[in-house]
A and B are shown apart, each in its own frame.
Chain A
Amino acid sequence: MKPGCAAFADQIEELALGSLDEPTRTELLQHAAECSQCRARLDQLAWVTEQVLATAPEIEPPAGFEDRVLARLIDSGSVVARARSHSRSPSWRWLVTAAAAVALVVGGFSVGHWQRRSTAAVTEAVSSGPIQRNDGTRAGTIVLARTPVPHVLVAMTQPRPSTEPVQCILIGPDGRRTDVGSWTYADVEHGAWAVGIDSSLLGSARMEIVDARGKVLAAAALSPA
């Protein structure tokens, strides 16, 4: 037993339950960092506390709680205010910086990473490719990425101010087609749209943008990033 273990053992329950004041708390944690046995005992007690905590009753908060929390997160800059969402199927959007969207389109071919607006988080692309219209002109860029969650990002150049919804279809190597969501050009921010996808779709070979009548407006072949 190391010096300090006896004192640690005497207050380990209070330490695990978070009821110790400073500087005692810091002193004991320093001891735990140096003594694997005491550390293991502390971890066990903390785990027991968490198990009991998991049985805490659920009590519905007052009406409007969700809105107040969201407002607090937005005020603190942790969450970006909701943009309009126009989608026939449930979807969620990553908000990308204008610079990132331009970089994807202009830099087009170096789409290894793109940066989020609100944090320094970086995501790595699995595959990407230029989006081409039926007349062969460049329409934008598509990126499939694995992190932070699997998703597809479509960045369009010169997005048309159209309110007609278009559909994003991912096509697998076996030709299997999957509808991953829809948007209207008028609603996307900075000409970029993103939606989470099942991880099995990260191996998609092609993408098509189709209108409500099923006409293919643009398409892209995906290449590993």
Chain B
Amino acid sequence: MVVMTLAPRLEKLSDEALLTALGLGDPDAAVVFIRRFQAKVFGVASLITSDRVLAEDIAQQAFERAWRHAGSYDGRRGSVATWLLTITRNLAIDACRVRRADPVDPEQLLAMLPPTGELDPLAAAVHADAMDRVRPALAQLPAEQRRAVLLATLAGRTTTEIGEIEGIPVPTAKSRLRLGLAKLRDSLALQGLS
């Protein structure tokens, strides 16, 4: 007779299974879900709001919204992580519509992306995947296009705000953003990712 202990730990659940459990109101799953994504969510909220207090409120709202809309998550459209970070980004952008904090140095955004060596092995593997794909593609962009892309995506700035930060007309800001995103798209597509 072989008796094996196989009770699965929540920590070993996939992101999708964990999100399902969160959506069904399981408190232990909620804790694991929060722990798994809180640093990323707070990171995005902080980048966009530049306000630690507001960032925490945004991050809390993001997890609450993740519960409310767990049933609408579609795995075919992307990972749970990007789905959650998109929710976070949209909340942060909406919160910042009225007020604008200090200008963000876009090159600092790129510098803030951590080296994978600082992460635990699983996070490093996931992060390395994104970093390995995207960071080189970003580095290949002309500097002004890279700045526009980072300000728009990671910092949630509008083209009007990008124009103000960079000291350029809005049409120029739009053009840099358009070209930068197009080149990024083509570069990632060449990697067979799209």
**Once the chains are docked, how many angstroms separate the CA of A51 from the CA of B132?**
11
Judged by a CB distance under 8 angstroms, whether A56 is at the interface is yes
Judged by a CB distance under 8 angstroms, whether A176 is at the interface is yes
Q: Are B113 and A57 in contact (CB under 8 A)?
A: yes
**Once the chains are docked, how many angstroms separate the CA of A4 from the CA of B53?**
42
**Once the chains are docked, how many angstroms separate the CA of A177 from the CA of B2?**
6
Q: Are A79 and B25 in contact (CB under 8 A)?
A: yes
Question: Pick the contact of A52 from B30, B39, B119, B138 — CB < 8 Å?
Answer: B138
Q: Are A65 and B85 in contact (CB under 8 A)?
A: no
Residue among B7, B67, B82, B113 with the most chain A CB within 10 A? B7
Judged by a CB distance under 8 angstroms, whether A135 is at the interface is no
Contact with A along B9-52 (1 / 0, CB 8 A): 11001000100111111111111001100111011101100001
Please name all residues of chain A whose beta carbon is closer than 8 Å to the beta carbon of B194 when the two chains form the complex.
44, 47
Question: Pick the contact of A55 from B20, B46, B60, B113 — CB < 8 Å?
Answer: B113
Judged by a CB distance under 8 angstroms, whether B193 is at the interface is yes
Task: Count residues on chain A whose CB falls below 8 Å from chain B CBs.
Answer: 66
CB distance from B26 to the nearest CB of A (A): 6
Question: Pick the contact of B26 from A87, A92, A176 — CB < 8 Å?
Answer: A92
Question: Pick the contact of A73 from B7, B30, B133, B138 — CB < 8 Å?
Answer: B30
Closest to A123 in B: B24
Q: Are B178 and A179 in contact (CB under 8 A)?
A: no
Q: Are B46 and A59 in contact (CB under 8 A)?
A: yes
Q: Are B34 and A119 in contact (CB under 8 A)?
A: no
Judged by a CB distance under 8 angstroms, whether B101 is at the interface is no
Q: Which residues of B45-89 are within 8 A (CB) of A?
A: 46-47, 52, 55-56, 59-60, 63-64, 67-68, 78-79, 81-82, 85-86, 89
Judged by a CB distance under 8 angstroms, whether A81 is at the interface is yes
Q: Which residues of B115-136 are within 8 A (CB) of A?
A: 119, 123, 127, 130-131, 133-135
**Once the chains are docked, how many angstroms separate the CA of A85 from the CA of B27?**
12
Hey, which bits of chain A sit against chain B, CB under 8 A? 13-14, 16-19, 44-45, 47-62, 65-66, 68-70, 72-74, 76, 78-82, 85, 87, 89-95, 116-119, 121, 148-149, 169, 176-181, 195-198, 201
Those 5 A-B pairs whose CB atoms lie nearest each other, nearest first:
A58-B39, A118-B25, A61-B42, A59-B43, A54-B130
Known: A72-B64, A76-B64. 12 other contacts (CB 8 A): A18-B156, A45-B185, A51-B193, A53-B82, A66-B34, A66-B35, A70-B30, A78-B25, A80-B25, A92-B21, A118-B25, A177-B2
> Can you spell out 20 A-B residue pairs with CB atoms less than 8 angstroms apart?
A13-B152, A17-B156, A45-B181, A47-B78, A48-B185, A48-B188, A51-B134, A51-B193, A53-B82, A56-B113, A57-B47, A58-B43, A58-B119, A61-B39, A65-B38, A66-B38, A73-B63, A73-B64, A78-B68, A121-B24
Hey, which bits of chain B sit against chain A, CB under 8 A? 1-10, 13, 17, 20-31, 34-35, 38-40, 42-44, 46-47, 52, 55-56, 59-60, 63-64, 67-68, 78-79, 81-82, 85-86, 89-90, 93, 112-114, 119, 123, 127, 130-131, 133-135, 138, 149-150, 152-154, 156-159, 174, 177-178, 181, 184-185, 188, 193-194
